[in-house]
Amino acid sequence: MSNLSDVIGAADLFNGTTYSYTTDRLNNLNSSIYFNSGFLKIPPSDAYFTGGDFTIMAWIQMKSRKQYARIIEFGNGPYSDSVAFGGGQLNTQLYFAVVLNSSSEPSLNTPTTYVIELNTWYHVAAVLQGQTAFIYINGIQVANGPMQRPRSILRKENYIGRSIYHYVNLDDDADAVYDDLKLFKGALKSSDIMNDFTGYTSSSSSSSSSSTPRLSTTSYLNSSIQSCLFGSYGKNCELKSNSTIFKNVTTEQNLNFVNLIGFSFNTTWSLIYKASVDGFSASSFHSKCNGILNGTLTLVSTNNFSNIFGGYTQADWSGLGYKGDANAFLFSLVNAFNASYKMPIKSIYNGYAIYAKPDYGPVFGRCMDFYITNDGSYGSYSNCEVGQIYTYQYPSLSSQSNYLGGSNTTPDDIEVYARIS
């Protein structure tokens, strides 16, 4: 395990800087740095960001919201040849930029749906490869876009936890804990970043001269955190590892699903019902899903995974009759249109979000927009008189069935996730 003094000893500590050692994400004492509106200044060098590809990686835990607080920024003062990675406005998102001749355009931000929560550990990475930039959270690429390349020059103002724009009072110092801060000469592959998140070093990253570490504060080889897609979104990897449906979607579709359902990045989910394991019968569904009061997410796949869709509700599946929920919605992830859709409930039908029925599985909508029968078959739109409309808002009523399961059939699998927090 490398020592924090490797960095502290090389840094100039400014008067008024507040920092301390604190427990890291693995509960190792005095193994990460807590900046309480503080920073470190790293000595000048021409070895930082020498005009080629590079990677910045760290574990971070934000303690309070600060305006554009940095993880790092290396450069030569405001508007001059800097590389910046850290929080966007009020640190709810991540921001990555290369500044040349006062211009930081184009810069890169993570989507607004990926909220960086306070007091939570995140593995974050920024990569520049050619003139394309990437941002990763917990091993998953969440943003990419064009980026200019830095110039190979001597950089005299290099900070951890501070922006070089502090001179003009534009950005705050960080109130955050940083661990395992590493700079790499070279663009790490997505597999290398995932390996770093999961706690293993791949042979390609350890042997490649383009991946030589420039700065490291602590060892990262003993991390016990597991890797997954939807599971990392929900903090626990049970979802990905046990899911039949998520194993049949691409990484892009999986990330799209995270954006689609619109919950916080740190929402915790638990897989509570899996038809291929627990049984397709209505009784099996209700035995696992009744009494959940914080919300359930139902995921259904039909036609050999060519249709993946479902719905969310905070209403309880127990009892008999319609249940109201103004926040309920349906979604279509994989469909005949090669696009994804979120279909909120129509306000006039808020009282008909789901229909609890002991001899049926999940039923969404007054018109049974979709339902699962007692034998596990899928069906849609069978409970309305002629002229009545659907409970949920589809992009086009003329092709409603294509947004969900297509023609009525037996599902490949049905999975229900309980929202824990």
| Direct distance between the N- and C-terminal alpha carbons of the chain, in angstroms, rounded to an integer | 34
Mean pLDDT of 406-413: 82
> What would the two tokens of residue 131 be?
């003139």
Q: What is the DSSP annotation of 172-239?
A: PPEEEEEEEEEEEES---HHHHHHHHHT---HHHHH-GGG-EEEESS--TT------SHHHHTS-THH
- SS3 assignment for 365-409: CCCCCEEECCCCCEECCCCCCCCCCCCECCCCHHHHHHHCCCCCC
**pLDDT-based confidence at residue 126 (cuts at 50, 70, 90):** very high
Q: Domains (ranges, CATH) in the chain? A: 5-216 (2.60.120.200), 230-419 (no CATH)
pLDDT of res. 308: 92
**pLDDT-based confidence at residue 131 (cuts at 50, 70, 90):** very high
Give me the percent of the chain exceeding a pLDDT of 70: 79
Highest mean pLDDT among 2-6, 303-307, 315-319 belongs to: 315-319
3-class SS of residue 344: strand
pLDDT of res. 115: 84
Question: Lowest-pLDDT range, 51-60, 92-101, 210-219, 386-395?
Answer: 210-219
Q: Which residue has the higher pLDDT, 303 or 215?
A: 303
270 touches 238 (CB < 8 A): yes
The Cα 421–Cα 418 span in angstroms is 9
pLDDT of res. 6: 34
- List pLDDT tens digits, range 3-62: 333 333 333 333 335 667 788 788 877 777 888 877 888 888 888 888 889 999 999 999
Whether the CA torsion 222, 228, 233, 234 is positive or negative: it is negative
pLDDT of res. 214: 28
**Among 138, 206, 164, 135, which residue's Cα sits nearest to residue 48?**
164
Highest mean pLDDT among 75-84, 164-173, 286-295, 403-412 belongs to: 286-295
Mean pLDDT of 198-213: 39
**Among 83, 85, 147, which residue's Cα sits nearest to residue 116?**
85
218 touches 1 (CB < 8 A): yes
pLDDT of res. 222: 24
pLDDT of res. 365: 92
Residue 240, pLDDT above cutoff 70: no
Q: How far is CA 173 from CA 14, 159, 281, in A?
A: 13, 10, 57
**Could you tell me if residue 52 is left (phi over 0), alpha (psi between -120 and 50 degrees) or otherwise beta?**
beta
Residue 235, pLDDT above cutoff 50: no
Q: Report pTM.
A: 0.51
Size (the chain), residues: 421
pLDDT of res. 103: 67
> What would the two tokens of residue 87 be?
């929080």
Residue 226, pLDDT above cutoff 90: no
pLDDT of res. 310: 93
Mean pLDDT of 85-96: 84
pLDDT of res. 389: 67
Q: What average pLDDT is seen over the chain?
A: 78
pLDDT of res. 213: 28
Cis peptide before 106 (omega within 30 of 0): yes
> What would the two tokens of residue 161 be?
């936890």
**pLDDT-based confidence at residue 252 (cuts at 50, 70, 90):** low
**pLDDT-based confidence at residue 203 (cuts at 50, 70, 90):** very low
**Could you tell me if residue 30 is left (phi over 0), alpha (psi between -120 and 50 degrees) or otherwise beta?**
left
The Cα 68–Cα 110 span in angstroms is 13
Residue 339, pLDDT above cutoff 60: yes
Q: Which residues pair with 177 in a beta bridge?
A: 34, 61
- List pLDDT tens digits, range 255-287: 677 778 887 655 677 788 999 999 999 999 999
The Cα 270–Cα 351 span in angstroms is 26
- List pLDDT tens digits, range 150-192: 999 999 998 889 899 887 777 888 899 988 888 888 899 888 8
pLDDT of res. 227: 29
